[in-house]
Structure 1
Amino acid sequence: MSGGVGLKRMLASAVVVGVSEARARIFGHVLNPARPVSAHKILRKKLIGDKVAEWYPYDIKNDDPRVMDRAEEERRLKLEMLKRRGKGPPKKGQGRRAVKRNK
């Protein structure tokens, strides 16, 4: 009796595997019965780089050197103002880490 039940189970599992394979072929899925980690889920996603790039407006800084010069000048003036108030960056080797190390 038990031999017949085992055969039925084996045939049923073979049918299920065959149906799964056919379904995967028809719908373009990837059959992964052993369940190892697969990168297929990530690779089938649409690439989003172009969409993200379209979202942001054109940046004039990349083309016009005068804009870059003005930005550099503004940065330098702000740094000078901070130094006058004593809020500028410390000289090399005199930052927070160096002060902690010397205590």
Structure 2
Amino acid sequence: MSTIGGLKKMVASAVVRGVEEARARIFGHILNPTGQRSPHKILRKKMIGEKVSQWYPYDIKGDDPLVMARQEQERLSKLEMLKRRGKGPPKKGQGKRASKRSK
């Protein structure tokens, strides 16, 4: 009697496994009978990098060296104006932190 019950369980589990495999094949699922962690769920998602890059406008600075040169020139002229007013950056080793240490 016990062998018949064991045989029924074995046949039933084989049928269930076969049905699960067929279902996975039909619907395109990944069969994971052991239940181990798998990256499939993450890899199944759509990539978002292309959408994010489309959100931002095209940046001309990288292509045109004249735009970069003009920005650099504006930065230098602003720095020169600040230096004339005495508001420019301090010399190396004479900033706020250095003055705190020397006390």
Q: TM-score, normalised by structure 2?
A: 0.67
In angstroms, what is the RMSD of aligned CA positions? 3.4
For the pair shown, the structure with the greater C-alpha radius of gyration is 2
- Equivalent residues, number: 101
Structure 1 Cα separation of the partners of residues 5 and 72 of structure 2: 82
Alignment pair present for 1:18 and 2:18? yes
Change (3 A) 1:75 1:7: farther
Change (3 A) 1:74 1:4: farther
Alignment pair present for 1:59 and 2:63? no
TM superposition shift of 1:78:
5.5
Alignment pair present for 1:85 and 2:87? yes
Structure 2 Cα separation of the partners of residues 66 and 44 of structure 1: 44
SS in 2 for 1:62: coil
Structure 2 Cα separation of the partners of residues 52 and 72 of structure 1: 29
List per-residue Cα deviations over 1:71-102 (Å, max 9, x = no partner): 223444565638x437x47737x896x9xxxx
TM superposition shift of 1:51:
1.2
Q: Which runs of 5+ in 1 are unaligned?
A: 99-103
